[in-house]
Amino acid sequence: MSSINAIPKNKIKEIVKLHQKKYRDEFGLFIVEGIKAIEELIENNIDIEEIYALKDFETEKYTVKIIDESIMKKISTTSSTCEILAVAKKKEYKINDFIKKNKLILLDSISDPGNLGTIIRSASAFGIDGIILYKNCVDMYSPKVIRSTAGNFFRIPIIELKDTEEIKSNFKDFEKISTALYEKNTNSIEECKNLKKYIIMFGSEANGLSSELIKIADKNIILKMKNNVESLNLSVCASIIMYELFKL
C-alpha cells in the first residue's frame, strides 16, 4: 500500500471552500465523491486536479494520494466516511453545442438538488441530448446533485441560460413543449411522437413553469392522474414524460 500523504493546511482549506457554490464558481472546480462517480469522471475525460483516497485506487492516468481518515473527514461533504474524493474542473458547454442536438429539456428555477440529480439520471437513461438550466436553478455542481445522479452526471451536457430571448433566438427550429398543469389547451404525449427537435420545459417545485416560458410554448402536455391527486413530484413527473417520449 502507498504511504500516507500529508496535505498542507492551505490545500485542505481550498478543498473545503469547494463545499460552497461561490468558491466552485470562483475556482472553476468541484468535488466528486465515491468510486463509481470518479470512474465516470475518468471515462468521460473530465479533467481531474487531484484524487484522494483512504486506500489504493488503480488508475493509469492519475496519481492517487493516500490520506488519513481524519483529513478525509475534513474535505468530504458527506456525514459518513468517504473512501475516495476527487477535485475536478468544470466542463463548459457553448450554446452552439446544444443547437446541433435534437432532444432537450429545460428546467425552470428548480431548487432541490435531489430533484435535479434524479432528472439528470433519467435524462441520461431516456435519450435526452442535453439539459438547459433556466434562471435561478440549484447549482449543478452541488455535491448533493452529483451524488443523486448515481454516476450519470458526466454523460449529458448541461448549460445555464438566463433570458427567454436566448431560448427564442437560438432554438427556433425546436418545438417548445410546456408542462403547465393548469393550462386549458393540452396535447397528448402521442401528439409529440413525430417531433424531430424539441425542448420539454419543466417548472420549479414551488411555482411551476413561468408565464414567460408558457407564452413561447408550441404545445402543452400534462400527465393524466386521478382527480384526488393534484400533482406529482417534479423529478417523478419529468422522468415519466421523458420515458413516454422515449418509447414513441
DSSP 188-218: -GGGGTT-SSEEEEE-BTTTBS-HHHHHT-S
Strands 198-202 and 103-108: parallel
CA distance 22 to 30: 11
pLDDT at 26 over 80: yes
| Ordered structural domains, the chain, with CATH | 9-89 (3.30.1330.30), 95-247 (3.40.1280.10)
Q: What are 98's three cell numbers?
A: 446544444
Q: Quick one: how far is CA 130 from the chain centroid?
A: 10
Q: Which of 58, 107, 99 is nearest to 208 (CA)?
A: 107
What percent of the chain has pLDDT above 90?
Answer: 76
Res 3 pLDDT > 80: no
Asked whether the predicted pLDDT for residue 2 surpasses 90, the reply is: no
247 vs 190: CA distance, rounded Å? 10
The pLDDT of residue 98 is above 60: yes
What Å distances lie between residue 217 and 174, 208, 231, CA to CA? 10, 14, 21
Among 91, 161, 156, residue whose Cα is nearest residue 119:
156
**Of 144, 134, 136, 46, nearest in space to 92 by CA:** 46
Q: Which has the minimum average pLDDT: 27-31, 137-141, 174-178, 203-207?
A: 203-207
pLDDT of 209 = 93
- What band does 51 get if pLDDT is binned at 50, 70 and 90? very high
Query: In the predicted model, what is the mean pLDDT of the chain?
Result: 91
Across-strand partners of 30?
A: 88
Q: How far apart are the first and last CA of the chain?
A: 52
Contact 162, 109 (CB under 8 A): no
pLDDT-based confidence at residue 61 (cuts at 50, 70, 90): confident
